[in-house]
Amino acid sequence: MASERAKKSNSKAAEKPDTRTAAQPEPFRLVSIERTEPPAGAAGKNWHRYTIRQGGNAINGYLQGTSAAVKHAAEQIVGQLNERRAGRWGYRTTRAAAPAQGG
């Protein structure tokens, strides 16, 4: 009888998808860095455009500097986005706590 319950329990567990993996979309990744003209309103030389992707979402940004410096900075951004996605930073707020109401 105990083995019957174990089989039923195991079959139910197999039917449920693992919510941890199903809820976690793919991580952010750096897909390209290319040299470009300065963005509108920006001055200077040596601008690069980077693209970060997560599934169908894309983040495009501009950074000024050498190719190596821009790649390093963009990789740091990707790392921070993935840490945040994983919940390592937690919820932060800048609002002050509501004052206690007297009764």
Residue scoring higher pLDDT (13 or 39): 39
Q: Which pTM does this prediction carry?
A: 0.61
Terminal Cα-to-Cα distance of the chain (whole angstroms): 59
Q: What is the pLDDT of residues 36-83, one digit of tens each?
A: 999 999 999 999 999 999 999 999 999 999 999 999 999 999 999 999
